[in-house]
């Protein structure tokens, strides 16, 4: 039994989650303060992959990454990076694709914190950044955990984009969801079932742990 697609999926989801945590926290913080038109537009763009068909994203990434023109050509010439058919390409696609799952819960949790919290911190001489790290973030722990788990789980479930820009290369871009599709096409239902069961189990454990954790926190997990 070849388990590399499962490891590859976990690796992709892990790297994506760490990157998104680093990007999502400050962005969510920035978006949670004020409602300028510019911020609304940015938030809309970040949220769009939630509803946009993955094939749309896959199609545009395919065009953008083509080494013959546009950004793909520039990347290849300048940095010798080729995103299409590569693991970094999948990471980039996943970051775009799973961003709303990281940003959404964090942003709404930050907005629900009473303003007095940061005001008190500021009046005690803490900078904005110190306030964010030491006061605000510890107060949104449940939502932060939800965001992390949902981002991870959503990346596990990525299929359409990978199918379009991955190239199905063993050990590089053949993630578990693709391996399932492949096995079904080959009429190898045994293999398809094994991968599916593993994904099913991981996803179930992830989602149920968020629900249980949030039950203790008396909050809806999707907040």
Partner 1 sequence: MARFIGNMLFIKNKPMKSKQPGISLKKSTTIWLPAVLLFTVPVFAQNLKVAAAANLQSVIKVLGQDFKHKTGIQIEPIVGSSGNLTAQIRNAAPYDLFLSADMSFPQTLFKEGLTAKKPVVYARGSLIICSNQDIGFENWERVLMTGRISKIAIANPAIAPYGKAAEETLKARGVLSDVKSKIVYGESISQVNTYIITGVAEVGFTTQALVKDPANKTTLYWHIIDPKTYAPIEQGMVLLKHAAGNAAAARFYQYMLSPSAKAILKAYGYDVQ
Residues within the interface to partner 1 (CB under 8 A): 62-63, 65-69, 72, 82, 84-85, 163-165, 167-169, 181-182, 184-187
By beta-carbon proximity to partner 1, the closer residue of 77 and 134 is: 77
- Output the smallest distance, CB 206 to partner 1, in A: 28
Residue 40: CB partners within 8 Å, gap ≥ 6? none
- Output the smallest distance, CB 55 to partner 1, in A: 12
By beta-carbon proximity to partner 1, the closer residue of 107 and 174 is: 174
- Output the smallest distance, CB 164 to partner 1, in A: 8
3-state percent helix, strand, coil for the chain, nearest multiple of 5 = 75, 0, 25
By beta-carbon proximity to partner 1, the closer residue of 56 and 135 is: 56
Characterise 66 by phi-psi region: left (phi > 0), alpha (psi -120 to 50), beta (else): beta
By beta-carbon proximity to partner 1, the closer residue of 188 and 215 is: 188
- CA angle, residues 18, 115, 31, in degrees to nearest 5: 40
- Output the smallest distance, CB 5 to partner 1, in A: 13
* 149-to-6, 12, 13, 178 alpha-carbon distances in Å: 17, 14, 10, 22
By beta-carbon proximity to partner 1, the closer residue of 26 and 170 is: 170
Characterise 80 by phi-psi region: left (phi > 0), alpha (psi -120 to 50), beta (else): left
- Output the smallest distance, CB 179 to partner 1, in A: 11
> How is residue 62 annotated by DSSP?
H
């Amino acid at each position: 039994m070849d388990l590399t697609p499962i490891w590859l999926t976990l690796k992709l989801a892990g790297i994506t989650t760490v990157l998104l945590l680093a990007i999502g926290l400050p962005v969510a913080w920035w978006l949670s303060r004020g409602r300028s038109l510019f911020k609304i537009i940015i938030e809309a763009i970040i949220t769009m992959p939630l509803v946009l068909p993955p094939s749309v994203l896959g199609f545009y990434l395919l065009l953008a990454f083509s080494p013959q023109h546009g950004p793909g050509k520039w990347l290849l010439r300048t940095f010798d990076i080729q995103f299409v058919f590569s693991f970094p390409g999948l990471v980039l696609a996943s970051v775009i694709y799973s961003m709303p799952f990281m940003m959404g819960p964090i942003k709404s949790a930050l907005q629900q914190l009473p303003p007095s919290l940061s005001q008190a911190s500021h009046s005690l001489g803490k900078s904005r950044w110190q306030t964010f790290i030491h006061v605000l973030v510890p107060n949104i722990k449940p939502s932060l955990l939800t965001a992390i788990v949902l981002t991870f789980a959503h990346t596990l479930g990525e299929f359409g984009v990978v199918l379009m820009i991955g190239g199905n290369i063993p050990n590089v871009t053949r993630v578990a969801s693709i391996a399932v599709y492949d096995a079904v096409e080959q009429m190898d239902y045994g293999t398809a079932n094994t991968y599916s069961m593993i994904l099913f189990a991981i996803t179930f454990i992830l989602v149920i742990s968020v629900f249980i954790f949030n039950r203790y926190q008396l909050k809806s997990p999707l907040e």
